[in-house]
Amino acid sequence: MDIILDTLMYGIPYAILALGVFISYRVLDFADLSCEGTYVLGAATSLVMIANGNNAIIATIVGVIAGALGGLITGLLNTKLKINGLLAGIITLTACFSINLVIFGITKGESFSWSDTYNSFRTLKVSTGDDPTIFSFFGGLFSIRKYGLILELAIILAAIIGILYAFFGTEVGMSMRAAGMNKKMARTQGINTDFYVIIGLMISNGLIALAGSLGAQRDYTVSSVSGTGMIVIGLASIIIGEALFGKRSFINWLISVAFGAIVYYLIIAVALYLGFPSHLLKVLYAILIVIILAIGFVKEKYHFEFNIFGRIKNAIFKKKNTDTAIEEMRESEDITLDTAEVAQELSQIAVAPEAEANTGASMLEVRNATKVFNRSGNKEDVKVALNDMSIDIKDGEFVTIIGGNGSGKSTFFNCVSGVYKLEEGQIFINGKDVTKTPEYLRARYIGRVAQDPYQGTAQNMSILENLSIASRRNRMKTLKWGFNAKNTEKYKDLLKPLNLGLERRMGTKIGLLSGGQRQAVTLLMATLERPDVLFLDEHTAALDPKTAKTVLELTEHIVRTNRLTTVMVTHNMKDAIKYGDRLLMFNNGKCIYDVSGEEKKNLTVEALLKKFENVEFTDKDILG
């Protein structure tokens, strides 16, 4: 019983720590080492305030804010100064060590000077007489302090899990998850990834500081080295939780991480109880992590499922087992897009009210665009990707762009989208000068589908969540829930004509879809909020020929039905001639050929090759 109680008393603060590390490590995909500094920062701040007579709740809140400020510094170093994430965390950690010593030194009744702290560790203790900590609120409920402490910790942990689940289901929370999973996709959906990385790191380190504060108030003490090894504990907790309890849904993932921390401390507590030498605990940590990683290897190689939560839930609700679910998923993936059926289904969907007849006005205008790479390098390495290029694309035009490797196609795409900045020239979209507009803000005007099907979606988020993010591309993100029943039905109606069965799998993680399925969903995401310009960057190049043909037919239908101004970059001359009503050919950063109307309809691959014998084309360009 003592082992169980100690496990809960020490393991629950570690669970809160693990949730903080989970946000940076899993949600943001950011290896943040500053947690070892912010853990002590939260603990020192709250305990010093309590020692100076402040209210324990206020002291705890201030400790959380202090930790969040540490996360803010790490985020700013990474996003604004472009310092590597690992190094940014180390810088913050290093600064926190000295700041924590300063905080220790402002306790009443203690003198402080650099000489007696600079080369030594420091420990702060508070009186245990009247229990002035946050745990005093439940202390009177039980004769033994430990019981009240565990109850209060359990309530705090449950509240944090509930708040995190609610937050990450909001528009802001889903945007943060998308920014961590796929920054390229997030920016194409109008998400300021730098902002969400900073906010995410603040939340992460705020939770870590809370864990430090609770641990310090539990023990009435904190040391300047209390944070050592906390990153290992956090990561080990995440891995244990995922291995034992799974991550099938986001709430399941959060609970798994919390239980992982408790299991982690239980293993340590049992080892100590059995007489394992305390000075060898670090070795035990290392062995434990190796075993946990080996569990992941066994799961993957032998398809062994440890998911305890999933097994219990399946048994209670008689859910289908994993093998049956996987077999059904494979059957649905075998469904192929039939061009005729897709066209017939889509033709029954009314054109959006805003899809008015072409006005003939300029929708995309590029004036004297110049882009140079390696400008400061050797003369031989300088590459002029765009050379004083000017192009005017009218409202409603469907333009295809071809050219050999290095002709400037992708550079043109990236400059207009805001990925690259021009050295010279201007870019106008629907009459607005967007030359200096950041990439994520240009997403209000541009819908994009990339060559790689895996770039356009957030793979660990569901189909429903991906479509919900796309539907808010032009809007400010709020703390409203990310989707509702009305929107869900709307997305199902959009997916149904694809004949892929995706409307029945709205909760499926999009990473489980095939490349063709993902590209079809990405195309819907790009056009869900009507863009001024739709950019297709070789969006069928990574697909097999049959799927590529069907996706192109789907593209043609969506573009024509909604009268979208579209620019399709392609390597395939046949596709460039067949689709669209205008063709541009690039070479050496210039547009060397511009054809439309009847002349384009009468074009052939052979005629193009004969006309431009001096232009180098690959077999892929010619044969498709």
CB 404 within 8 A of CB 616: yes
Domain match, 236 and 384 both: no
Q: What is the mean pLDDT of residues 283-311?
A: 68
Q: Based on the domain organization, do 276 and 373 belong to the same domain?
A: no
Q: What is the pLDDT of residue 430?
A: 94
Domain encompassing residue 425: 362-623
The confidence band for 201, taking pLDDT boundaries of 50, 70 and 90, is very high
Asked whether residue 367 falls in the same domain as residue 275, the answer is no
Q: Specify the number of domains making up the chain.
A: 2
pLDDT at 292 > cutoff 50: yes
Task: With beta carbons less than 8 A apart as the criterion, state whether 96 and 41 touch.
Answer: yes
Is the same domain home to 63 and 200?
Answer: yes
pLDDT at 179 exceeding the cut of 70: yes
Distance CA 70, CA 65 (A): 9
**Is residue 232 domain-shared with residue 85, that is, in the same domain?**
yes
Chain segment 341-368, per-residue pLDDT in tens: 544 554 444 334 444 445 578 999 999 9
Query: 188 and 469 in contact (C-beta within 8 Å)?
Result: no
Percent of the chain with pLDDT over 70: 83
Closest by CA to 163, choosing from 91, 228, 98, 254, is: 254
- Is 328 among the domain residues? no
Q: What is the pLDDT of residue 114?
A: 38
Tens of pLDDT, residue by residue over 538-578, are 998 888 888 888 888 889 988 998 899 999 998 888 889 99
Report the distance separating Cα 133 and Cα 482, nearest Å.
38
- Give the pLDDT confidence score for residue 309 in this predicted structure: 56
My answer on whether 266 and 381 are in the same domain is: no
Domain boundary among 249, 280, 311: 280
Let me know if residue 345 belongs to a domain: no
pLDDT digits (tens, 9 = 90+) for 460-472: 999 999 999 999 9
> Can you give the pLDDT at residue 307?
57
pLDDT band at 492 (very low <50, low <70, confident <90, very high): very high
Helices (H), 223-336: 230-245, 250-273, 281-302, 308-317, 322-333
* 263 and 367 together in one domain: no
Is the pLDDT at 115 greater than 80, yes or no? no
Average pLDDT rounded to a whole number, residues 154-166: 97
Which pTM value belongs to this model?
Answer: 0.86
Q: Is 343 within a domain? A: no
Whole-angstrom distance, CA of residue 553 vs CA of residue 565: 16
- State which of 252, 280, 308 marks the end of a domain: 280
Q: How confident is the model at residue 119 (pLDDT cuts 50, 70, 90)?
A: very low
Final residue of a domain: which of 280, 306, 334?
A: 280
Contact indicator for 589, 389 with CB cutoff of 8 Å? yes
